[in-house]
Chain A
Amino acid sequence: MTRISDNPYVPRKAVLLSRKELSPTCTLYRFRGEGRGPFSFTPGQFLLLTVPGVGEAPFSISSAPSEDGTFEFCIKRVGRVTDHLHRSAREGDVFGIRGPYGRGFPVEEMKGKDVLFIAGGIGYAPLRSVLLHLLKERESVGQISFLYGVNTPVELIFRDEVREQAEAGTVHYWISLMEGDLDDFPAPWSRGLVTDFIPRVPADPENAIALLVGPPVMYRTAVEKLFEKGFREENIFLSLERRMECGIGKCGHCAIGYRYTCVHGPVFPYFEAITLTEAI
């Protein structure tokens, strides 16, 4: 029998360092994890955050891995736990975290390649972790293109960062809106779907990796257009969202086929995702 180690259901403490409203529904929370050695993770991995006395929910990490034990979540107000966070979380409050768990994005594989990001709405949050990580060593990768789709301009989160990166020319942004306008923005934008940009983005499909985070409907269209462009299955990665109670492949809720989104994902190469019933 496997040796029984620590109880995986016991969170460790994390202190809220700051919070910043990004949009009427999204807030960026910065934490410092306490105890138990250095805190390392791969972009795309997630943590389970406990709001003591309220509940626990999984969130992708939005910041790049760093040495100082801090990390960020960009959290949208959609349920009980997130609602409580938005209403009550104050600097200095103590929360619980478990993880990091799951498989992240293949950052090592990106070296020397063009990287094409495709984000729908809050999907920007986990991709931001990859992006900030790559920007630390900008020359390690080729061209970085970022297709970013939102419904309305107010939902365009991390707007200042986006603007800065676009102006510096380190990231080529293409922004789509369903309604409204972006005045005086240093990146091409248009009305429509984020996937509309795919045919126009310059990328060498032989030497590029595409990273997708958004709703399932976005995945279907995006993958189709990436194929038309010449991308291969093994160079497309996407992050899947499922209900999770445990984060360690036990509660069953996130199972897709025999895979557990929390253990084998949340990031899947497209080839694996299509072999899973109901995945996308």
Chain B
Amino acid sequence: MLVRSAPPEILETLFSRLSGTGKVYGPVRQGKAVRFLPLSSISDAELSYQRTVLPPKKFFLPPGETLLTFAGRGEWRVPDEEDERIVLFGLHPCDLHGIEILTVFMSDAVPDSPFLRRREKAFIVGLSCLPDDKCFCRSMGCQTSEKGFDIFITLLGDRVLLRAGSPEGYRLLRMLDGEAREPSREDRERLLNFHRLRNESFTLSLDITDLPEVLDLEEESQVWEELGNRCFTCGNCSIVCPTCSCFNVVDIPSFASGETKRVRTWDSCLFRSYALVAGGHNFREKRAQRVKNRYYHKQKGFVEGFGKPSCVGCGRCISSCPAGIDVVSVFKRLTEAYAK
């Protein structure tokens, strides 16, 4: 892997190179929130941000996406493909893992081509970070990234390290050779110190080694009932989750144009209508059933299907829950009950 060391000013050069290839999005502060928004210069970006409200999945699975347009009887067409190249600048390792998990899922069995086309076209720049009290990415093995980016930037005070993760990233990095150099001995020391500092900064952790097996035994646990009583089933945790990708498909007629659009919109398994079938039967009528289903899907179902949990430890579900429910303490209660 090609690694280069450079002063922080190189990010400006990198940005101008990137903005020549497509529309660049990055973390922008808006009041208390940070969001992935279009950047007109590198100074728009908040490089020390903690977490954005929505994960970058919104670029690949838009909250509302027209799949088809129906015009007249028995005629339909697919919307034109978006030609514009997008560049996502400043994604933390957890979000890179989130995109990787979604890409594996969307490629399985029958590939979801609208999602995969957008993913294939995007250029992704990763960015190092330090955890806060809601981050538990390290417990999910998502505190570092070895793939899923074209370039990864590690901020080391008055130096930055740039790693190439794709042929395109490699070529771009080579073009910056005038401003960058091989990492020095001092750069390596700084990097090791950064790793140490990051690893020591975690305050939240969860041992998931035996969690799927524990979940097998705890299907009837009182924990689910209690959780069902606390949870508002508002769906915030799924909306902000980097790996939640459930959607609805609805046909929306327009009286003005006479056309009907088939749109897919984000959905949440916590919503009451999620498992409701025509005729009125609901397979998960109770809130406790729906909350439990989400926890089982993340830490058991996805593990069985794809070999790892569909959780990256980004902490968004914790920071966005109006009931103050925190996924780590829920699983800890279960494993503790198991230990007794």
Which residues from chain A sit less than 8 Å from chain B, CB to CB?
1-11, 13, 50, 52-57, 78-79, 82, 93-96, 101, 241-243, 245-246, 248-253, 255, 257-258, 263, 277-278
Contact with A along B261-290 (1 / 0, CB 8 A): 010100101000011111100011000010
Contact A249 to B283, CB < 8 A, known contacts A9-B114, A52-B260, A255-B297: no
The minimal Cβ–Cβ distance linking A134 to chain B, given in whole angstroms, is: 29
Q: Using Cβ atoms and an 8 Å threshold, which residues of chain A touch B108?
A: 249
Q: Is there an interface contact between A52 and B110, defined as CB atoms closer than 8 Å?
A: no
Q: Using Cβ atoms and an 8 Å threshold, which residues of chain A touch B251?
A: 53-56
Contact A1 to B107, CB < 8 A, known contacts A242-B275, A243-B274, A252-B269: yes
Give 3 nearest A-B pairs by CB, closest first.
A94-B74, A79-B278, A252-B246
Q: Using Cβ atoms and an 8 Å threshold, which residues of chain A touch B300?
A: 257-258
Q: Is there an interface contact between B116 and A1, defined as CB atoms closer than 8 Å?
A: yes
Contact with A along B95-137 (1 / 0, CB 8 A): 0000000010111111111101101100000000000000000
Q: Is there an interface contact between A248 and B277, defined as CB atoms closer than 8 Å?
A: no
| 13 A-B residue pairs with CB within 8 Å | A1-B107, A2-B116, A8-B111, A8-B113, A82-B278, A246-B247, A248-B110, A249-B109, A251-B249, A252-B246, A258-B302, A263-B109, A278-B283
The minimal Cβ–Cβ distance linking B45 to chain A, given in whole angstroms, is: 27
Most chain B CB within 10 A, of A241, A248, A251, is at A251
Give Cα A13 to B75, complex, Å: 9
Q: B9 on the interface (CB 8 Å rule)?
A: no
Contact A252 to B103, CB < 8 A, known contacts A2-B111, A9-B67, A242-B283: no
Contact A53 to B114, CB < 8 A, known contacts A257-B304, A258-B302: no
Q: Is there an interface contact between B275 and A53, defined as CB atoms closer than 8 Å?
A: no
| Residues of B76-103 contacting chain A, CB below 8 A | 76, 78, 103
> For residue A15, which residue of chain B has the nearest CB?
B74
The minimal Cβ–Cβ distance linking A280 to chain B, given in whole angstroms, is: 11
Q: B245 on the interface (CB 8 Å rule)?
A: yes
Q: Using Cβ atoms and an 8 Å threshold, which residues of chain A touch B277?
A: 241-243
Further contacts, 5 of them, CB under 8 A, given A1-B119, A251-B249: A4-B120, A53-B70, A251-B246, A253-B246, A253-B274
Most chain B CB within 10 A, of A6, A13, A241, A278, is at A278
For chain B, the bracket of interface size reads 35 or more
Contacting B249 at CB < 8 Å: which of A4, A56, A263? A56
Q: Is there an interface contact between A96 and B76, defined as CB atoms closer than 8 Å?
A: yes
Contact A250 to B73, CB < 8 A, known contacts A9-B67, A56-B262, A57-B278: no
Give Cα A249 to B111, complex, Å: 9
| Residues of B192-247 contacting chain A, CB below 8 A | 219, 245-247
Q: Using Cβ atoms and an 8 Å threshold, which residues of chain A touch B302?
A: 258
Q: Is there an interface contact between A258 and B305, defined as CB atoms closer than 8 Å?
A: yes
Q: Using Cβ atoms and an 8 Å threshold, which residues of chain B touch A54?
A: 251, 260
> For residue A276, which residue of chain B has the nearest CB?
B301
Q: B250 on the interface (CB 8 Å rule)?
A: yes
Q: Is there an interface contact between B106 and A278, defined as CB atoms closer than 8 Å?
A: no
Give Cα A69 to B108, complex, Å: 28
Q: Is there an interface contact between A95 and B74, defined as CB atoms closer than 8 Å?
A: yes
The minimal Cβ–Cβ distance linking A251 to chain B, given in whole angstroms, is: 5
Contact A258 to B301, CB < 8 A, known contacts A4-B113, A7-B114, A243-B276: yes
Give Cα A245 to B245, complex, Å: 13
Q: Using Cβ atoms and an 8 Å threshold, which residues of chain A touch B73?
A: 52, 93-94
Q: Using Cβ atoms and an 8 Å threshold, which residues of chain B touch A246?
A: 247, 249
The minimal Cβ–Cβ distance linking A37 to chain B, given in whole angstroms, is: 17
Q: B68 on the interface (CB 8 Å rule)?
A: yes
Q: B8 on the interface (CB 8 Å rule)?
A: no
Q: B248 on the interface (CB 8 Å rule)?
A: yes
Q: B253 on the interface (CB 8 Å rule)?
A: yes
Q: B60 on the interface (CB 8 Å rule)?
A: no
Give Cα A258 to B108, complex, Å: 13
Q: Is there an interface contact between B247 and A6, defined as CB atoms closer than 8 Å?
A: no
Contact A4 to B296, CB < 8 A, known contacts A53-B70, A250-B106: no
> For residue B284, which residue of chain A has the nearest CB?
A278
Q: Is there an interface contact between B247 and A5, defined as CB atoms closer than 8 Å?
A: no
Give Cα A56 to B264, complex, Å: 12
The minimal Cβ–Cβ distance linking A77 to chain B, given in whole angstroms, is: 10
Q: Is there an interface contact between B278 and A78, defined as CB atoms closer than 8 Å?
A: yes
Q: Using Cβ atoms and an 8 Å threshold, which residues of chain B touch A251?
A: 246-249, 264, 267
Most chain A CB within 10 A, of B260, B277, B302, B304, is at B277
Give Cα A255 to B267, complex, Å: 14
Q: Using Cβ atoms and an 8 Å threshold, which residues of chain A touch B284?
A: 278
Q: Using Cβ atoms and an 8 Å threshold, which residues of chain B touch A258?
A: 297, 300-305
Most chain B CB within 10 A, of A2, A5, A241, is at A2
Give Cα A14 to B106, complex, Å: 27
Contacting B245 at CB < 8 Å: which of A9, A242, A252? A252
Q: Using Cβ atoms and an 8 Å threshold, which residues of chain B touch A242?
A: 275, 277, 283
> For residue B274, which residue of chain A has the nearest CB?
A253
